[in-house]
Amino acid sequence: MTNTHELQILLSYWDVALASSLIVLVLVISWRLRLNLTSTLLMAAARTIIQLSFIGLILAWIFARKQWYEVLVILTIMTLIAAIAAKNRVKRAYKGLLTDTFIAVSTSAILVTGLAIGLILQVQPWYTPQFVIPILGLILGNSLTAISLTSNQLVNDMHEQSARIEMMLSLSATPFEAVHASIRAAIVNGMTPTLNSMLVVGIVSLPGMMTGQILAGADPTQAVRYQIVTMFLICVSSTLGCTLSALLIYRRFFNRHQQLILPS
């Protein structure tokens, strides 16, 4: 039987530089079509190289040391950055939005990661960095997108449909009944990217985690199993995050007298 590791192709700095040069094609398209994306593309490309190189050095150091408190610091920083990113995507921010997004992101991601590490993968010890950091990062990356979509739409709806909500309140509807349609639409909007990915995975697209494992020489059947697990983990964490975010936002728009308020 052929050893799969014999098929592994190691990338040199020259290979990375060659791939980076392909960005020139994107820059030419942006220039010819006057998309005004040149500076954004250059910034994105530079940040991709710098940020990934930096995190690569940090992870190599942490993987070698395997200290639980260092892993915990990395996980905390990752969660906080994800919450800030989700908050910054909401156009109509209000005081307390960062707290709400942090609670939604951290609760959903940590709960699902804990189940994955402790129940599914049964990693010992739990803080083994090769497992817990990539899994949490994968879940956070998808959850923050779902949560930001839900939060942005719900906040907009609460402002734009305030007259309808107040009318329903005047007709003896509870606050939750008055905004239930908006909450439902916001959660569906947040879940749409995840559901779309699940519908076409393996047929139209090969996800990044699965592709990376196969390119690194892993057994394709094992790569598929890992991808199935991660897709379900992402779906659960996104659903929990969107729901929790919607409920936290909903509570911000009503006072203790069940009157609609518009926080700023």
Percent of the chain exceeding pLDDT 70 equals 94
pLDDT at 114: 94
Sorting pLDDT into bands at 50, 70 and 90, what band is 240? Answer: very high
What string of H, E and C letters represents the secondary structure of 192-255?
A: HHHHHHHHHECCCECCHHHHHHHHCCCCHHHHHHHHHHHHHHHHHHHHHHHHHHHHHHHHHCEC
In Å, how far are 31, 205, 207 from 200, measured between CA atoms?
A: 33, 6, 10
Sorting pLDDT into bands at 50, 70 and 90, what band is 2? Answer: very low
Whether the pLDDT of residue 214 is over 70: the answer is yes
Q: Name the average pLDDT for the chain.
A: 88
> Alpha-carbon dihedral of residues 37, 39, 40, 42, nearest 10 degrees?
110
pLDDT at 12: 85
Distance from C-alpha of 140 to C-alpha of 145, rounded to nearest angstrom: 9
The answer to whether 45 and 23 have CB atoms below 8 angstroms apart is: yes
Percent of the chain exceeding pLDDT 90 equals 52
Whether the pLDDT of residue 100 is over 90: the answer is yes
Sorting pLDDT into bands at 50, 70 and 90, what band is 20? Answer: confident
Could you read off the pLDDT of 131-169 as tens digits, one per residue? 999 999 999 999 999 999 999 999 999 999 999 999 999
Sorting pLDDT into bands at 50, 70 and 90, what band is 1? Answer: very low
First to last CA, the chain: 65
Structure tokens belonging to residue 127 = 């803080």
Sorting pLDDT into bands at 50, 70 and 90, what band is 5? Answer: very low
